[in-house]
Amino acid sequence: MNYFSSNFKLGILGGGQLGKMLLNDTRKFDIHTSVLDASPEAPCKIACNEFHLGDLMDFDAVYNFGKTVDVLTFEIENVNTNALEALEKEGVKVYPSSKTLRTIQNKATQKLFYVDNGIPTADFSRFAYTNQIEDAVDNGGLKLPFVWKSTQFGYDGNGVKVVRKIEDLEGLPNVECITETMIPFKNELAVIVVRNPNGNVATYPVVEMEFHPEANQVEYVICPARISPEVAKKATDIALKVSKAYNHVGLLAVEMFQTNNDDILVNEVAPRPHNSGHQTIEASYTSQFEQHLRAILNLPLGRTDNKTAGVMVNLVGAEGYTGNVIYKNIEKIMAMPGVTPHIYGKRETRPFRKMGHVTIISESIEDARKIAEDVKNAIQVISE
């Protein structure tokens, strides 16, 4: 099929920053794009060929949109999978598939999938409602501390809480959830695996993620990870095993813990471009966004190795500021070597909202990490 400068139409469900960055590459290839999002302010709006307003969880909105495109993909997991399945039955190519997405959408289903497929993951318990947890602790069925996770609709640290004492459960939504054993780990790692319909598979180098202690959001993504070759191979092998089990098409970001004993446990996955791959835009031969397009269109996969070391810093709204955004000291960070800011196009900032990211590239990962800290200390995402 001719995708380039043709009548072919790629549909994207979700109009956020991941979609906006994906559209950089559809424009590079002159691929016609149609985007569906519920917000008239969606960042994608400025960069797609067609923009449609609609609720991604609404069957009719997704189904009717999907009927107008040749290939359908998504940049967010909260999508109506029944509509995707109906479209697949009518011959629309949906990548990753409704089956893959349905398993991943619910954290309990996702965890059971790892157990069924012999993939190492932290021990967990499943609850229909949060208010059942206290009884489980009282009767000895569950031990503190643990991690509470809502099974659905969590994002960017929302829907996750570390519970060290029973009072920490107060104020949590009374929803279906899981509790996970607290894992003593020394690193959070991620591997992005890419697969096309022909079954060609490639992996990006292992990245290391440093998290913000309060917001439970990634502060730095460091590539390559500062780990031994043995640990890197183990993480890559497990990511490939996860990818094979899902048999997905497109990108799969596999987030993992490296325990104190150097065991690798899978935390969770995302079947789309991911925060742990943003540095690939500047640091890799093929960005994760171009690679996702190559995969879902069954084109040859691009090189996944690094041209240089890269560190990514998330730009999130500063605490105490809500309103029209100002990027204070952005000129100061742009004067630093190897620094590229990416602004997502969200006009309104609020505490911890993802507003952009900054990539720092350098021959030396140590230098890049040091400059990343300078970037973090200099720039402030505030409001008027």
Report the binding-site residues for ATP: 107, 149, 180-183, 188, 267-268
User: Which DSSP category does 259 fall into?
Assistant: E
Pull the structure tokens for residue 127: 């609850």
Question: By the 8 A CB rule, do 325 and 43 touch?
Answer: no
Segment (H or E) for 383: strand 380-383
Question: By the 8 A CB rule, do 313 and 360 touch?
Answer: yes
Give the closest residue to 12 by CA, choosing from 66, 56, 72: 72
- Which residues carry a binding-site annotation? 107, 149, 180-183, 188, 267-268
For residue 240, how many other CB atoms are within 10 A of its CB?
Answer: 18
Q: Which residues pair with 180 in a beta bridge?
A: 124, 147
Q: Which residues pair with 309 in a beta bridge?
A: 362
For residue 307, how many other CB atoms are within 10 A of its CB?
Answer: 12
Q: Which residue, chain included where needed, has tokens 């191979």?
A: 233
Q: Which residue, chain included where needed, has tokens 């993504």?
A: 221
What's the Rg (C-alpha) of the chain? 21
Strands 348-349 and 309-316, bridge-based pairing: unpaired
